[in-house]
Amino acid sequence: MLRAASLIGASVLMMAVLDPPVPAHAAEALAVDVVNASEPTLCAEKDNVYLKLISPHARSFAIEAVHPAYVGTILVDRWKPDFTNCDMSGDPVFTFEKRRLTIYETEEWWLVGLTFPSFWRPNQVPVRVGNRVETGFHLLQLWTWRDGRADEVLVLYPADGYWRARPLPPVNLRWSAYGSSFLLGPVETEARPFVDIRAVAFDPATLSFTLDFVRGGSATLRLQKLDQERIALDVALDAPVADRPFAALRSMFVTEGNADVAHVGWRTMGSHSWMRAPVMDFSRAAAAELWAGRLVPSRHNTSAPDMVFREFRAAP
């Protein structure tokens, strides 16, 4: 474990320069408990990385997906699944009728819902946009039209609460991969971690999603910024999650060169220095800011972004 911020990567160094730590006297600023529940695997398609974010006080925070520091050096991007050493035969399976529907559309933004032929949970979650309500989707895709091209930048799996986000592609690539997922709201486990969502509403005017949870309470995720460096998301909980994680990172690690997350970096409250550990060596930390990503290119989802959780506060 090292204290050298330079080892975390250029993206975190840039954020530390542009966004100094929250002053210690800011009463609403929080450090949250980050607990590592990751397990080793040989399967590159299994989410074996599991970082739990726990706090009985947190009500708002920011999430960023940032291109990895090495993104400008990528000549060949690798993103196809690798099911070597994978056995999915024990996974629960529920069957559905395949479907694709554009729920909302303007010249700049559109929201698409997809139903897969099979999924691991049977849940049917209603999705509302204005007065329109649709249900039964396993995937919601938020697309944008920028500079003469369409890019999918944010997705939600309503039936299990998994999100993925990515910035616009960098100048040297026509496309970039998704990698790590994150969960928002009361996280529970049944075969795997998930968040049980009762309903989803999308507000096109604010580019925000509101989630109502089966366990009670709600959360709002708003797309705050999007460019070729990062996508920034603001999250607000209507009440703290006291008895379980309020958010989590899910990813995969097999080896340093075959991982969507290989290292974890964190900054404690009031500190200008970062600490870092390989993801499988990390145990837990009280973090005012958390980074999870890679220092060297991976043969799995090479261009997938690093993930950052920051600006934890006790007020929305």
Please report the pLDDT score of residue 44 as a whole number.
87
Domain ranges of the chain: 5-75+95-311
CA nearest 9: which of 262, 185, 271? Answer: 262
- Which tens digit of pLDDT belongs to each residue from 93-118? 999 999 999 999 999 999 999 999 99
Phi-psi region of 23 (alpha: psi -120 to 50; beta: other; left: phi over 0): beta
pLDDT at 316: 80
Task: List CB contacts of 74: < 8 A, sequence separation 6 or more.
Answer: 172, 173, 297, 302, 303
Contact 62, 310 (CB under 8 A): yes
**5: helix, strand or coil:** helix
Q: How many CA atoms lie within 13 A of 247 on its CB side?
A: 32
Evaluate whether 247 touches 182 at the Cβ level (below 8 Å). yes
Confidence check: pLDDT of 10 > 80:
no
17-30 mean pLDDT: 51
pTM: 0.89
More confident residue, 81 or 18: 81
Buried b (16+ CB within 10 A) or exposed e, 231-247: bbbbbbbeeebeeebbb
Say which DSSP state 10 is in. Answer: H
| Second-level CATH architecture of 5-75+95-311 | Distorted Sandwich (2.70)
